[in-house]
Amino acid sequence: MEIEVLRKHGFSLRRIAAEVGCAVNTVRSHLTSGIKPKYERQKQRLAKVAPYETYLRERQAAAQPLWIPATVLHREISAQGYQGGMSQLRRFLRDVRPTLPVDPVVRFETAPGEQMQVDWVEFRKGSAPLYAFCATLGFSRASYVEFVTDMKVGTLIDCHQKTFVALGGVSQRILYDNMKTVVIERDVDGPGEHRYHAGFLDYAKHCGFIIKLCRPYRARTKGKVERFNGYLRRSFYVPLVAKLKQAGLQLDAVTANAEVRHWLNEVANERIHGTTQVRPNERLVEEQALLQVIPATWRGDIAAARPQAAVGTATGAVAVRPAVVTERIAAATPLQHPLAVYEQLLAQCRVVVEVAP
């Protein structure tokens, strides 16, 4: 740049070389070529990552066509003795796969205790289905996850009850998409007059929350839980399935629930949230003070995917005959089959094979 400027001021080649501090031939060569120099960052050596390259490639290959985030892999290789930083690991992974685009969606913020967003995530169909019930509080972004094998209304209600216990209360409104276990038909008697599932509507009235529905074909209306769904898939489900796949095992709901409790407490709700820049557990303390008290055990007929329904607003429920007692969940932790169980089974299998004649 200096050479170009000095030349335009009429300086001779020798004078320019003296001013810049280079040879005359260098000045002449630059002015003749006419190409402006461009900084090119030299590829840095990734010495600390090198011992783990095979492991990292195998982990990503086992997760294909999905992707394990650098934060997850950093925790894994750090436990194996990795001493490097996150930036060095990211540079290595950048060569394996391009950086994902940034989500440009602007989040609509709500007051503490005002809203919770709920959604189902479908992980596996077929003879061994696996789904996840996900709930995220709008203010704190604290989340709860329950893995199940069906999406029936009874399961939906049980998941709500476990969520209220885990998060410490009931929000004023809960936002859903158009799932049939919540709303059977929209705008049946005019705008906002939806035909709700009678059993679930009675449960909502009992708990004291208002049912809110997303606009049709606009799942991003509940963008907070939608974004968490993607985070759950990338940072929890894919790494766990890949680890079990490497051992020749398949993830089930009991194992998933045992592992997701630790992940929620130690990772998801303890991370610095990208939007709020605060840990969800820290904001949850503030939000819990404004959540409604968890009500006593609900009694209602939840067998109901029958044509039985209630029409009205989300708070104007039609009474449903009492029949089945739904027990209140005192704790959100299910029977556990942690990964250690599988590791013990594999070790026992290896011993049997070694001692066999």
Domain at 275, CATH number: 3.30.420.10
Q: Do residues 235 and 168 share a domain?
A: yes
Residue 356 included in any domain: no
Residue 352 included in any domain: no
Residue 103 included in any domain: no
- Indicate if the pLDDT at residue 319 is higher than 50: no
- Indicate if the pLDDT at residue 246 is higher than 50: yes
311-321: average pLDDT: 39
Q: Do residues 72 and 215 share a domain?
A: no
* Confidence tier at 132 by pLDDT (50, 70, 90): very high
Q: Do residues 77 and 138 share a domain?
A: no
| Cα dihedral value 178, 179, 184, 185, nearest 10 | 10
Q: Do residues 67 and 190 share a domain?
A: no
The answer to which of 123-137, 220-234, 283-297 has the lowest mean pLDDT is: 220-234
The whole model's pTM is what?
Answer: 0.62
Q: Do residues 73 and 156 share a domain?
A: no
Q: Do residues 87 and 170 share a domain?
A: no
The answer to which of 152-161, 227-236, 323-332 has the lowest mean pLDDT is: 323-332
Q: What is the largest CA-CA distance in the chain?
A: 100
Residue 210 backbone zone (phi > 0: left; psi -120 to 50: alpha; other: beta): beta
Q: Do residues 82 and 138 share a domain?
A: no
Residue 164 included in any domain: yes
Tokens encoding 40: 């090119």
Residue 41 included in any domain: no
Total count of domains within the chain: 3
Distance CA 57, CA 246 (A): 13
Q: Name the residue range of residue 61's domain.
A: 50-96
206-216: average pLDDT: 88
Distance CA 237, CA 131 (A): 11
* Confidence tier at 233 by pLDDT (50, 70, 90): very high
76-87 pLDDT tens trace: 999 999 988 898
* Confidence tier at 289 by pLDDT (50, 70, 90): very high
